[in-house]
């Protein structure tokens, strides 16, 4: 996992909102797009960045592409922050 890509992915408000939507359930690209006043192409661009950062995974079904939150990468980011904070409570080190 590359922190550079992950933090970059998290730095955009649209992408953070997409992740928040995916917190409850997996959604198709179109369903995600419906929550925003943007073209599908733009949503697809943001999804591609979240995917590269491994913050989401995709599953194809019929002619839909479903996206799901990948909590394990979220956890890795939390560990980085936890280490920065100097809190060794939940570290494996």
Partner DNA sequence: TTTCTATTTAGAAATATTTCTAAATATATG
Partner DNA sequence: CATATATTTAGAAATATTTCTAAATAGAAA
Q: Which residues here bind DNA, judged by CB under 7 A?
A: 8, 11-12, 14, 28-31, 33, 37-49, 58, 60, 62-65
Which residues 16-75 are close enough to bind a copy of itself by CB under 8 A?
Answer: 16, 19-20, 23, 69, 71, 74-75
* Lateral strand order in the sheet of 27-28: 27-28, 64-69, 56-61
Among 1, 7, 37, 57, binds a copy of itself (CB under 8 A): 7
Q: Which DSSP state fits 25? A: S
Please name which of 32, 19, 29 lies closest in space to residue 69, comparing C-alpha atoms: 19
The binder of 57, among a copy of itself, DNA, none, by C-beta within 5 to 8 A per type, is none
Q: How many other C-beta atoms lie within 10 A of the C-beta of residue 47?
A: 19
Cα 61 to its chain centre, rounded Å, is 20
The residues of the shown chain that bind a copy of itself, judged by CB under 8 A, are: 3-4, 7-8, 10-11, 13, 16, 19-20, 23, 69, 71, 74-75, 77-78, 81-86
């Amino acid at each position: 996992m590359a922190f550079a890509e992950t933090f970059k992915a998290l730095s955009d408000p649209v992408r953070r909102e997409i992740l928040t939507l995916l917190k409850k359930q997996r959604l198709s690209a179109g369903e995600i797009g419906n929550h925003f006043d943007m073209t599908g192409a733009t949503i697809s661009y943001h999804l591609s960045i979240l995917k590269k950062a491994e913050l989401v995974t995709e599953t194809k079904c019929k002619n839909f592409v479903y996206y799901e939150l990948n909590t394990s990468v979220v956890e890795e980011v939390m560990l980085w922050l936890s280490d920065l904070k100097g809190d060794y409570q939940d570290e494996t080190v």
